[in-house]
């Protein structure tokens, strides 16, 4: 029987989204419907090289809409990149934004939007519910299957001066529409496919185990876990097979709908800390940390992690939780390694002397508050120490 608390009043947010082959080609139609005159297209050099930005620009011009391109976004978007994009938006007289790319361009576009509408530094929005004014209309076209930034109320921005990544969490960041087209993911290489796929898995696992989970988010989270377990490795092996790419894009969507409304946990808090220090790939950091964080959390929510193990395809015994925990930890490690993620945090460049700083920053990350087990700084230091 379900607990009564599962039926407490909750609000769930998601953008309008169109999912399926050729969804990207609707960009111009949606921009026109939003009353756009001139759009800022936020993207990155890799997406431009792959041709996806040009396709979206062509869709806008088919509707006689003007646009200006901002493609100076890097991995882990920086405050300076948000500021430069906001300045270009204002200087060019834009009144809407299209983001084409993975999590970095989309998060940067979200930052640009709220910075423009409020005329404040994006730094002032760090934390939960700090955004007072919505940004201009935002259309998101994801080109990776994992970040789920296109459907979430999160934006993660890197502050290189403090060497930290900070989260902005607000319903004002939910895009107006996401055009989710699996075709755009066929140009991802094996490494990026692995990183983003493990990011989607981590989103789903942390959302399901979150203290803010709910029946609706549980459905999306478990289905995302099943999809990643079934399709990530085949997608890496057969990257041009559209049915596989579609399944991974669906996993990303389901995981995003889950974590945007249930939030995340210690894996993301700790990965943000590492990414802020080293500017390292977010999905890789998540994959490295996930097995150890799951092992740490398991006893706090064993029924949740048993369901996660089952969704991954493991046969576990609820009467033997210690064995189930070891099996789940081993499977998460195996999956990451099979996907080609084999480095440790030490091999990424983390030194043992930096662990206290990383743990302190993770303790202040917004994602830590919905972790199923509330950690002490010493606990996070111990987890970091196991993966260096």
161-180 pLDDT, tens digit each: 999 999 999 999 999 999 99
What band does 4 get if pLDDT is binned at 50, 70 and 90?
A: confident
Q: Give tens-digit pLDDT for 29-54.
A: 999 999 999 999 999 999 999 999 99
Same domain for 276 and 377? Answer: yes
End of a domain among 185, 208, 241?
185
**What is the percentage of the chain residues whose pLDDT exceeds 90?**
97
Confidence of residue 6 (pLDDT cuts 50, 70, 90): confident
- Domain count across the chain: 2
User: Given this model, what pLDDT does residue 5 score?
Assistant: 82
Is 274's pLDDT higher than 80? yes
> 357-375 pLDDT, tens per residue?
999 999 999 999 999 999 9
Report which DSSP code applies to 373.
S
Same domain, 20 and 144: yes
Q: Do 374 and 342 fall within a single domain?
A: yes
The per-residue pLDDT for 199 is 98
My answer on whether 107 and 199 are in the same domain is: no
CA distance 100 to 181: 11
Residue 194 has pLDDT above 90, yes or no: yes
How many other C-beta atoms lie within 10 A of the C-beta of residue 87?
14
Distance of alpha carbon 13 from alpha carbon 260, whole angstroms: 8
Which of 151, 185, 219 delimits the end of a domain?
185
Both 169 and 277 in one domain: the answer is: no
HEC string for 108-163: HHHHHHHHHHHCCCHHHHCEECCCCCCCCCEEEEECCCCCCHHHCCEEEEEECCCC
Domain encompassing residue 351: 190-386
> What confidence tens digit (pLDDT) does each residue in 211-262 have?
999 999 999 999 999 999 999 999 999 999 999 999 999 999 999 999 999 9
- Run of H or E residues at 264: none
As a whole number, the mean pLDDT across the chain is 97
Q: Quick one: pLDDT at residue 3?
A: 81
Torsion of CA 109, 112, 113, 118, to 10 degrees: 160
291: confidence class by pLDDT, cuts 50, 70, 90: very high
| Within a domain: 10 | no
Q: What is the pLDDT of residue 8?
A: 85
Average pLDDT for 342-352: 97
pTM over 0.95: yes
Residues 251 and 139 in one domain: no
Residues 194 and 131 in one domain: no
HSE value, Cβ hemisphere, 13 Å, CA-based, for 359: 17
What CATH code is carried by the domain that includes residue 344? Answer: 1.20.1090.10
| b/e code 243-279 from CB counts within 10 Å (16+ = b) | ebbbbbbbbbbbbbbbbbbbbbbbbbbbbbbbbbbbb
Mean pLDDT score, 282-310: 98
Evaluate whether residue 8 is within a structural domain: no
Together in a domain, 68 and 171: yes
Q: Cα(208)–Cα(167) distance, rounded to whole angstroms?
A: 20
The confidence score (pLDDT) of residue 310 equals 98
Mean pLDDT score, 283-293: 98
Do both 248 and 131 map to the same domain? no
pLDDT of residue 377: 98
Rounded CA-CA distance 368/380 in Å is 11
Helix axes 302-311, 321-338, angle to 10 degrees: 40
pLDDT at 1: 72
Q: What is the mean pLDDT of residues 205-209?
A: 98
For residue 101, give the H/E element and its range.
strand 96-101
Q: Binning pLDDT at 50, 70 and 90, where does residue 133 land? A: very high
Banded model confidence at residue 271, pLDDT cuts 50, 70, 90: very high
């Amino acid at each position: 029987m379900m607990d009564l608390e599962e039926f407490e009043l909750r609000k769930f947010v998601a953008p309008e989204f169109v999912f399926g082959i050729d969804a990207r080609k609707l960009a111009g139609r949606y921009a026109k419907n939003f009353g756009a005159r001139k759009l800022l297209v936020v993207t990155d050099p890799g997406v431009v090289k792959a041709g996806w930005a040009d396709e979206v620009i062509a869709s806008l011009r088919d509707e006689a809409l003007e646009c200006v391109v901002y493609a100076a976004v890097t991995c882990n978007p920086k405050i300076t990149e948000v500021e430069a994009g906001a300045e270009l938006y204002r200087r060019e007289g834009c009144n809407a934004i299209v983001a084409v790319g993975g999590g970095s361009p989309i998060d940067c576009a979200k930052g640009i939007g709220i910075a423009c509408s409020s005329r404040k530094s994006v730094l002032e929005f760090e934390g939960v519910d700090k955004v007072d004014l919505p940004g201009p209309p935002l259309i998101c076209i994801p080109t990776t299957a994992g970040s789920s930034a296109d459907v979430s109320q999160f934006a993660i921005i890197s502050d290189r001066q403090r060497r930290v990544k900070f989260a902005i969490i607000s319903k004002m960041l939910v895009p107006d529409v996401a055009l989710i087209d699996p075709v755009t993911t066929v140009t991802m290489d094996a490494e990026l496919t692995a990183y983003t796929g493990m990011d989607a898995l981590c989103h789903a696992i942390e959302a399901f185990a979150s203290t803010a989970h709910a029946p609706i988010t549980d459905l999306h989270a478990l289905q995302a876990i099943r999809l990643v377990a079934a399709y990530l490795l085949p997608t890496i092996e057969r990257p041009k097979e559209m049915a596989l790419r579609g399944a991974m894009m669906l996993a990303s969507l389901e995981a995003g709908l889950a974590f945007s409304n249930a939030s995340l946990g210690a894996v993301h808090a700790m990965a943000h800390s590492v990414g802020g220090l080293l500017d390292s790939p977010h999905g890789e950091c998540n994959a490295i940390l996930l097995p150890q964080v799951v092992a740490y959390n398991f006893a706090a929510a064993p029924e949740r992690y048993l369901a996660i193990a089952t969704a991954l395809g493991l046969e576990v015994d609820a009467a033997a939780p210690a064995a189930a925990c070891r099996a789940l930890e081993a499977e998460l490690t195996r999956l990451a390694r099979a996907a080609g993620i084999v480095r440790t945090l030490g091999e990424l460049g983390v030194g043992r002397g930096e662990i206290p700083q990383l743990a302190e920053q993770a303790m202040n990350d917004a994602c830590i508050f919905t972790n199923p087990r509330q950690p002490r700084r010493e606990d996070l230091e111990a987890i970091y120490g196991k993966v260096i």
